[in-house]
Amino acid sequence: MRTLTLVDSSDAFSLTDRPTADDFPPLPYGLTLDDAVAVRAHEVKAGDLVLAEFAEGTGGRRRVGHVPTPYPADPHTLRDCPCEGCEECEDVDAWTLAEHSRVADVSWRFVCLAPAEDDEPCAILLRNSPMAVIPAAVAVRAQQAAEEAEPPVRTYGVMWSADFEASSPQEAAQLAYEQLKSYATDAWPPVLEMTDEDGRMAVVDLNTGDGVQG
């Protein structure tokens, strides 16, 4: 558990460990809650990774609501929301229709941190709601480090050759096919030539696992 504070407040917010249920996957790119900071909803910047919301609890404590799948923020006013009508937006519309004077309040009371997507409604919050986020710069650095740590996926052309005595191309192909099948059961695997996208060739002997770059 971490204790977070806001720049403009002395209140402390306890960020508990993320649940371990199936619908709460680990944070991406090796990020952890140690990277989190507390901000108010209207201070969330584009690209910040939204982790949790804090709500009023009992005894002056704040309840933390972890976001099952943290999302990169795309903050905007409700007036500029591209949503074509989701449950959250309809609730705000119902709130304003109940009292017409509230229409002018919408822009300064609420902020949308992400538009509706994949059957998920807009993330609409009161502007001063305390949140836990990972700053965009931290998330981007972690993503870049994770991508650099993974070897690039390339396309390889794989060649295998062998000589067969046969009376026709079809018979030679059948003999080659039978030999290839035997590698999986009772024979040593072949030596293969791989050529990558840049034309560089490598020869790999599957009998030993050794590879020689050409």
- pLDDT tens by residue, 96-123: 777 776 766 677 788 999 988 877 888 9
Residue type, 207: N
Q: Name the strand (E) or helix (H) holding 178.
A: helix 169-182
Residue 135's closest CA among 127, 143, 123?
143
pLDDT higher than threshold 70 for residue 147 = yes
**Alpha-carbon distance 103 to 88, whole Å?**
16
Q: For residue range 152-192, what is the model confidence (pLDDT) as tens digits?
A: 788 888 888 788 898 998 998 898 888 888 887 777 777 88
Per-residue pLDDT band at 210 (split at 50, 70, 90):
low
pLDDT of residue 135: 97
Q: Name the strand (E) or helix (H) holding 131.
A: strand 130-134
The stretch 38-56 carries a mean pLDDT of 93
